[in-house]
């Protein structure tokens, strides 16, 4: 079944404007989160950011776009402009954000003409109007853009944002759209080193250029949310910035973007760890795998660029799989997919693995199932490990120390072994129980935690 990019579940509003007018600051203010990176450096925002705003009990989807300046210096800026205009065209209402301190510039005038072509409702928002003196000067000079009376706001202080949201919903009411919120069945974080193909993989999954793809490392600077529908299930995919070695991370924007990527891992249900099959497992891949494993999230290993291997045989996949697991032995429970973001090969299988891994992470086992498991798998194993010691009466067997297993919680599944003696704890037995639980109940893709409790005497 193909993956389809969703039409926004709530009315959508795109924030567009030239560089450094404060679109991302206003975006953060409206969603009441520090989600978009904010910087004085022009062109900080590249991809289209997505966030939810609630105003007077109504929900709104906001789209933060990159700067739409006239001069396009390189291919990345061309792509930024394409993404921003596409977001404006797909949205229900456009917020044309301008700078009160500079007044209308030639770029604003050109952009106003482009926005009129969309045939969408456009609200002119003049940002950076912190002082009363600046607000008094906002008048006829802005009306020449052709969007009527502007709304003066301050993204820094929040001044005027309530009036702005009232105006937005006035325009939405004219369209008569349903106000609805969709809760994703799964939230997925795409992580990996720079340039392993995460953004290309997301584009292949949804069938369109949702995020910018570039050969220049660190093109993606902040997590990008995309809501997909797969087999009638909504799935939120978060494309994160590539994470380099800590020693190589530059202060400022890169450090901030890496921090947001780590937050995306914490908020996800499933982590897709993307690995460049040409490089194999490098030190940073191992580091990221460790971070993902420590997070307690479900994990799927994605071997990208499989199409670049020219001398494949029927054994190549098995050999590559074993090589990866030897490098990441603590993730042998994570399923692995060999894909090509460039050609789309087997990309459709990823979401099946995602849904299965999330289901396993939330699996609840009954007491009856666990009692049968202890009798069938655990006690025979322990019996085989029992040592014999000679006494005056001959050979005496030690008792089996485990009385049962109970599940404590899910996400990830946590189990407690009820034992006779706290000195029973043995890493070998712990690992055996984890592996047999996974094998018996099909818990691939999720970590499992096993602890011990000594029975009261």
Higher pLDDT, 266 or 222: 266
Contact call for residues 45 and 24 (beta carbons, < 8 A) = yes
Mean pLDDT of 325-338: 95
**Helix (H) / strand (E) containing 319:** helix 316-327
- What pTM was computed for the model? 0.63
Sheet of strand 122-127: strand arrangement: 49-55, 58-64, 12-16, 93-99, 122-127, 151-152
Task: Note the pLDDT of residue 2.
Answer: 39
Question: Of the given ranges (96-105, 120-129, 237-246, 438-447), which has the lowest mean pLDDT?
Answer: 237-246
**Helix (H) / strand (E) containing 274:** strand 270-276
Task: Note the pLDDT of residue 223.
Answer: 53
Q: Which CATH number fits domain 186-360: 3.60.10.10, 3.40.50.300, 3.40.50.150, 3.40.50.720?
A: 3.40.50.300
Runs of H (alpha helix) within 91-197: 106-116, 132-137, 140-143, 161-175
Mean pLDDT of 265-276: 94
User: Which pLDDT band, with edges at 50, 70 and 90, does 409 fall under?
Assistant: very high
Question: Of the given ranges (34-43, 113-122, 234-243, 306-315), which has the lowest mean pLDDT?
Answer: 34-43
What is the topology classification, in CATH, of domain 367-454?
GMP Synthetase; Chain A, domain 3 (3.30.300)
Average pLDDT, the chain: 81
Token readout for 294 is 């420590």
User: Which pLDDT band, with edges at 50, 70 and 90, does 164 fall under?
Assistant: very high
Mean pLDDT of 42-48: 51
Contact call for residues 403 and 421 (beta carbons, < 8 A) = no
Mean pLDDT of 435-453: 94
Q: For residue range 53-75, what is the model confidence (pLDDT) as tens digits?
A: 878 777 788 888 888 875 556 67
**What proportion of the chain, given as a percentage, has pLDDT over 90?**
40
Q: For residue range 87-135, what is the model confidence (pLDDT) as tens digits?
A: 888 889 999 999 998 889 998 998 999 899 999 999 999 999 888 877 7
Closest CA to 68 of 50, 80, 86, 56: 80
Question: Of the given ranges (190-194, 208-212, 216-220, 445-449), which has the lowest mean pLDDT?
Answer: 216-220
- 186-360 against 367-454: fold identical: no
Mean pLDDT of 257-262: 65
The torsion defined by the Cα of 106, 76, 223 and 182, in degrees rounded to 10, comes to 70
**What proportion of the chain, given as a percentage, has pLDDT over 70?**
78
The Cα 127–Cα 83 span in angstroms is 22
Mean pLDDT of 335-339: 95
Q: Residue 416: exposed, middle, or buried by beta-carbon count in 10 A (0-12, 13-18, 19+)? A: middle
Question: Of the given ranges (76-80, 162-166, 289-293), which has the lowest mean pLDDT?
Answer: 76-80
Could you write out the DSSP letters of every residue in 398-432? PPP-EEEEEEEETTTTEEEEEES-GGG--HHHHHH
Task: Note the pLDDT of residue 258.
Answer: 57
Query: From residue 89, how far is each of 5, 120, 378, 379 by CA, in Å?
Result: 15, 8, 60, 64
* In the chain, where the domains are located: 10-175, 186-360, 367-454
- Ranked by mean pLDDT, the top range of 30-34, 111-115, 159-163, 356-360 is 356-360
Question: Of the given ranges (19-23, 78-82, 374-378), which has the lowest mean pLDDT?
Answer: 78-82
User: Which pLDDT band, with edges at 50, 70 and 90, does 423 fall under?
Assistant: low
Question: Above 90 in pLDDT, residue 268?
Answer: yes
Contact call for residues 161 and 153 (beta carbons, < 8 A) = yes
Question: Of the given ranges (176-180, 317-321, 347-351), which has the lowest mean pLDDT?
Answer: 176-180
Domain 10-175 in CATH 3.20.20.190? The answer is no
Task: Note the pLDDT of residue 154.
Answer: 92
Question: Above 60 in pLDDT, residue 416?
Answer: yes
Closest CA to 185 of 412, 11, 354, 411: 354
Task: Note the pLDDT of residue 21.
Answer: 92
Q: For residue range 355-404, what is the model confidence (pLDDT) as tens digits?
A: 999 999 999 999 999 999 999 999 888 888 765 444 444 555 455 578 89
């Amino acid at each position: 079944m193909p993956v389809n990019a969703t039409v926004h579940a709530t009315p959508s509003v795109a924030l567009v404007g030239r560089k450094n007018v404060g679109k991302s600051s206003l975006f953060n203010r409206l969603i009441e989160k520090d989600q978009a990176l904010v910087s004085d450096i022009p062109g900080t925002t590249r991809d289209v950011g997505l966030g939810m705003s609630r105003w007077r009990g109504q929900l709104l989807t906001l789209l933060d776009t990159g700067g739409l300046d006239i001069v396009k210096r390189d291919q990345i800026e061309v792509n930024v402009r394409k993404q921003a205009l596409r977001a404006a065209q797909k949205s229900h209402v456009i917020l044309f954000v301008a700078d009160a301190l500079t007044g209308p510039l030639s770029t604003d005038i050109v952009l106003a003409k482009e926005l009129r072509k969309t045939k969408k409702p456009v609200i002119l928002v003049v940002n950076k109007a912190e002082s009363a003196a600046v607000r008094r000067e906002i008048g006829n000079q802005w009306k020449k853009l052709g969007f009527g009376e502007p709304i003066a706001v301050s993204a820094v202080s929040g001044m005027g944002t309530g009036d702005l949201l009232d105006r937005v919903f006035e325009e939405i009411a004219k369209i008569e759209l349903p106000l609805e919120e969709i809760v994703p069945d799964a939230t997925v974080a795409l992580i990996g080193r720079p340039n392993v193909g995460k953004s290309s993989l997301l584009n292949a999954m949804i069938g369109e250029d949702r995020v910018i793809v570039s050969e220049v490392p660190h093109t993606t600077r902040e997590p990008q949310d995309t809501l997909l529908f797969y087999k009638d299930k909504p799935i939120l995919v978060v494309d994160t910035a590539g994470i380099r070695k800590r020693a190589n991370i530059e202060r400022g924007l890169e450090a901030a973007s890496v921090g947001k990527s780590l937050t995306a891992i914490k908020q996800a249900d499933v982590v897709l760890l993307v690995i460049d099959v040409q490089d194999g497992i490098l030190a940073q891949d191992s580091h990221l795998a460790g971070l993902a494993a420590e997070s307690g999230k479900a994990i799927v290993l994605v071997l990208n660029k499989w199409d670049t291997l020219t001398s494949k045989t029927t054994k190549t996949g098995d050999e590559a799989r074993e090589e990866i697991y030897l490098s990441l032995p603590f993730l042998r429970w994570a399923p692995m997919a060999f894909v090509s973001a460039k050609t789309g090969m087997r990309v459709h299988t990823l979401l099946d693995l995602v849904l299965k891994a999330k289901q396993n992470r939330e699996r609840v086992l009954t007491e009856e199932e666990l009692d049968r498991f202890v009798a069938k798998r655990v006690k025979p194993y322990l019996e085989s490990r029992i040592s014999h010691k000679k006494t005056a009466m001959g050979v005496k067997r030690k008792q089996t120390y485990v009385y049962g297993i109970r599940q404590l919680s899910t996400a990830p599944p946590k189990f407690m072994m009820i034992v006779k003696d706290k000195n029973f704890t043995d890493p070998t037995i712990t690992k055996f129980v984890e592996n047999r639980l996974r094998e018996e109940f099909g818990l691939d893709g999720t970590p499992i935690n096993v602890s011990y409790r000594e029975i009261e005497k």
